[in-house]
Amino acid sequence: MTTPALAVIVHTSGDPLEETFAAVRDRLAARPHTRIAGVVPRNGAPHSNGRLSFWLDDITRGDSIALSQDLGPGSASCILNPDGLATARVRLAEAIATHPDLVLFGRFAKEELAGRGVREEIGLAVAEGIPALVAVERSMLPGWIEFAGDDWAELPVDVDRIIAWFAALDAQRAAADA
């Protein structure tokens, strides 16, 4: 049985998704000869309307992209920062161009369900044969399936299981190269 190169961390609200992504990044970055790229999602300080700010930490550059914006204390509007999303898309395309061993994408969420967001970059990684790790909230799984089809692995919010998926994929690639 082959290990799919596309994997999805299926999560629900309240799961430690950001911490899991960061731990996966750290553990894989510590492996010799493993090149990872992409972005790691992270919540930040609350905006003036009380909603948490949202950031993407760029693995390659070591800086952060503001994916949310503060629209004021009374705002109930979407806080997605379009400039931050555009920057993330460019950075992900640059990461894919380096042909790393794995690209981390953060979340597949409302923008991607609407046909925007990082859909193209996920597709580019798959087309290039580059393993990709994406998070999808359980309620958005039908939209993910519509987008991705059925050639992907479902993973829990569990660092060891995610590392095991990557190790199996790595072993599979090494065997194919031998």
pLDDT of residue 131: 97
CA distance 13 to 81: 21
Rounded to 5 degrees, what are φ and ψ at 125?
A: -60, -45
Query: Does the pLDDT of residue 40 top 90, yes or no?
Result: yes
CA distance 72 to 77: 10
CA distance 72 to 29: 38
Query: Does the pLDDT of residue 52 top 80, yes or no?
Result: yes
In a domain, 131, yes or no: yes
CA distance 64 to 41: 9
CA distance 116 to 85: 10
In a domain, 1, yes or no: no
pLDDT of residue 42: 94
Question: Which pair of structure tokens corresponds to residue 15?
Answer: 């799961």
Task: Give the SS3 label for residue 48.
Answer: coil
Domain assignment of residue 167, given as a range: 6-177
Task: Give the pairing type, strands 132-137 and 153-155.
Answer: unpaired
In a domain, 55, yes or no: yes
In a domain, 37, yes or no: yes
In a domain, 25, yes or no: yes
CA dihedral 25, 29, 35, 40 (to 10 degrees): 20
Report which DSSP code applies to 2. Answer: P
Secondary structure, 3-state, 64-125: EEECECCCCCCCCCCCECHHHHHHHHHHHHHHHHCCCCEEEEEEECHHHHCCCCCHHHHHHH
Quickly state the pLDDT bin for 57 (edges 50, 70, 90): very high
CATH of the domain at 64: 3.40.50.300
Quickly state the pLDDT bin for 55 (edges 50, 70, 90): very high
Quickly state the pLDDT bin for 29 (edges 50, 70, 90): very high
Question: Which pair of structure tokens corresponds to residue 157?
Answer: 């919010």
pLDDT of residue 74: 78
Counting Cα atoms < 13 Å in the Cβ hemisphere of 58 gives 20
Average of per-residue pLDDT across 16-25: 96
Rounded to 5 degrees, what are φ and ψ at 166?
A: -65, -40
**pLDDT single digits (tens) 96-155:** 999 999 999 999 999 999 999 999 999 999 999 999 999 999 999 999 999 999 999 999
Split into its structural domains, the chain has a count of 1
Whose tokens are 């609407």? That residue is 114
In a domain, 108, yes or no: yes
Quickly state the pLDDT bin for 38 (edges 50, 70, 90): very high
In a domain, 47, yes or no: yes
Question: Which pair of structure tokens corresponds to residue 31?
Answer: 């492996």
In a domain, 102, yes or no: yes
